[in-house]
Chains A and B, each alone.
Chain A
Amino acid sequence: MIAIIDYGMGNLGSVQKALAYLGFDSEITDDAEKVLAADGVVLPGVGAIGAAMEALSGKGLDKVVHEYIATGKPFLGICLGMQMLFDTSEESFGGEPVKGLSVLPGKVVRFPSDMGLKVPQIGWNALSSKNEILPDKEYVYFVHSYYCVPDREEDVAATVDYGIEYCCSVRRDNVFACQFHPEKSGEAGLAILHRWAKQTKK
């Protein structure tokens, strides 16, 4: 069973539907015990990181995420769920920079405003990957205004070019996360999701 963490924001159904399509059972839950007992955990998310962190902490799920990751079982962060893994985000919340979960060292910053980029980046962009987890040159779907800057180069699993070349996926031990939406990236995305989900059935 895969647990999809529900912290009361956004539509979590797409991830569940994609997993079901691939033959994996999942449950959308905010129950700490269920999360900790799961064979795999997905932290999804859309919207503002400040509100998301507040909702997560409000339910005590920030600690649960740490506790779960410490078990060594597969963990997947998607979009905002990737951004929340870092130390801080410059996305303002009540005038203050937002503190993240600090699972990985690094920060989250906004696309530069002086390069004529459309923000948010919406659409399909090609991955640049030198490892076996993510396919090089495959197109995946992005919707976001902020991006992650990991402190450690070795955490970077893939990058993408949007005027600037930035990190769009990280991997460290059992933690895997992507800025793009594998559940919305057609067959390419389903394959990435499948590759991750397979680990939960070992």
Chain B
Amino acid sequence: MLSKRIIPCLDVKNGRVVKGTNFISLRDAGDPVECAKAYNEAGADELVFLDISATVEGRGTVVDMVKSVAEQVFIPFTVGGGIRSLEDIREILNAGADKISLNSAAVKDPELVRRASEKFGSQCVVVAIDVRSRKGGQIRIASTDVSFSGIDETASEEDNEKFPSGYEVVVAGGTKPTGLDALEWAKKVEELGAGEILLTSLDRDGTKSGFDNVITRAIADAVSIPVIASGGAGKMEDFYDGIVDGGADAVLAASLFHFGEIKIEDLKTYLSERGIPVRTMTPALKLWQSLKKDKQGLVPAIVVEDSTKEVLMLAYMDYEALQQTMETKLMHYHSRSRNELWKKGETSGHYQHVKKFFLDCDRDTLLFYCDQEGAACHTGNHTCFFTEVELK
């Protein structure tokens, strides 16, 4: 079954992450690659980088950031903020982003959505829609949005007719109303070719009072493209409600994950226990993901005889070898000379039965305690380390 996606959002300014991964101590918490890797290991299903650079020079650094992330992190990621033209989109996609998100540029020029999806495919065009409730003839004020002036004096019953969904699309961080009804705009962007909608309630953003499930549900039911709910999540129930009540296909949060208030892994366990399909990893994969690999993508494995504690050999593992070893409890390696999976003992009968195994403190080496059938070394010696070197 398709799993519901958990998406952390990282704010980026001048190519540096300003709100990303405070939950873990990184050598450089502002390094987008380090942050992306940390979230990948934490189990994030996808990432969103939101560029909040105020200057043209600042925005120019995004392309380099995208390149570095794409070389090291192999889960999908979206880049948004300040994207204005097909040329901007091309640059960011070519640098390695999987998707771009358009916000105010789409409101200003809806045809940009169509051109972008025709040119690059719907699958990479996310339209970000920021909304505020317009019920009661006034725009509600989000507690975090200090720049917004508050009550819209011009709102009237007539205005309410303009917003049948009760929500208006706003841009510029909520400071500019657009006159567009949120639901109508969502349907429009789908028609224009958007592949996904990232829906943020600016009333709820920063309040930790939960996603706005009313507008999320209205939009999710009205369009056939996935809807990502954003803005307002404060506790695990909020994510559950966003998916169940709001009908969201994915849920996004920034600060909550950044400050480690909620761990993605715990959230996934919580959702999974309540019947929400989420992506989980097999124990072998989880372990493999947490290991430091060498330049060939391998991890050395030391084998010790369980009964005698004698060191028998050293060989290398790739994921397949580790997975097979954990599954069969028989040592498997990656043969570097033959470039293939090597089940120890398959031709010689000298199998190694795993009793237990340990992780090195730096997570770059594995130590296996085994029962050795016959000799470990291909020369017929019990151990590969039978040649003593004279120490002068």
Residues of A in contact with B (beta carbons under 8 Å apart)? 10-11, 13-14, 17-18, 20-23, 46-48, 118-126, 135, 137-139, 141-143, 161-162, 183-191, 194-195, 198, 201-202
Contacts and interface: CB of A to CB of B under 8 A. Distances in A.
Given A120-B123, A194-B318, A21 B71 contact: yes
B123 A187 contact: no
B281 to A, nearest CB: 7
A149 to B, nearest CB: 19
Interface in B293-327: 295-297, 318-320, 323
Given A14-B74, A120-B122, 17 more contacts: A17-B96, A21-B74, A48-B121, A118-B224, A120-B195, A123-B4, A123-B45, A124-B5, A126-B3, A126-B279, A135-B285, A138-B281, A138-B282, A184-B75, A187-B285, A187-B319, A194-B297
26 contacts: A11-B96, A17-B70, A17-B74, A21-B71, A21-B74, A23-B296, A118-B224, A118-B225, A122-B195, A123-B3, A124-B3, A126-B3, A135-B285, A135-B323, A142-B2, A162-B2, A184-B74, A185-B75, A186-B74, A187-B288, A187-B319, A191-B318, A191-B320, A198-B340, A201-B339, A202-B338
A14 B96 contact: yes
A198 B2 CA distance: 30
A188 B340 CA distance: 18
Contacts of B94: 11, 13
Nearest to B249: A118
Contacts of A10: 120-121
Dominant SS among interface residues on chain B: loop
B93 interface: yes
Contacts of B279: 124, 126, 139
Contacts, number: 124
Interface string B110-151: 000000000011111000000000000000000000000000
A195 B295 CA distance: 17
B58 interface: no
Contact of A23 (B4, B45, B297): B297
Given A21-B74, A190-B74, A123 B338 contact: no
Contacts of B288: 187, 191
Contacts of A191: 285, 288, 318-320, 323
B187 to A, nearest CB: 15
Q: B1, B121, B323, B340: which has the most chain A beta carbons within 10 Å?
A: B121
A143 B282 CA distance: 22
A13 B339 CA distance: 25
B196 interface: yes
B260 interface: no
A126 B280 CA distance: 9
B3 A125 contact: yes
Contact of B74 (A18, A124, A135, A138): A18
A18 B297 CA distance: 12
Contacts of B2: 121, 123-125, 142, 162
A166 to B, nearest CB: 12
B184 interface: no
A125 B279 CA distance: 7
A124 B281 CA distance: 11
Contacts of A195: 320
Contacts of A17: 70-71, 74, 96
B196 A188 contact: no
A202 B339 contact: yes
Contacts of A188: 281, 285
Contacts of B121: 10, 46-48
Contact of A139 (B76, B281, B297, B323): B281
A119 B40 CA distance: 26
Interface in B164-200: 195-196
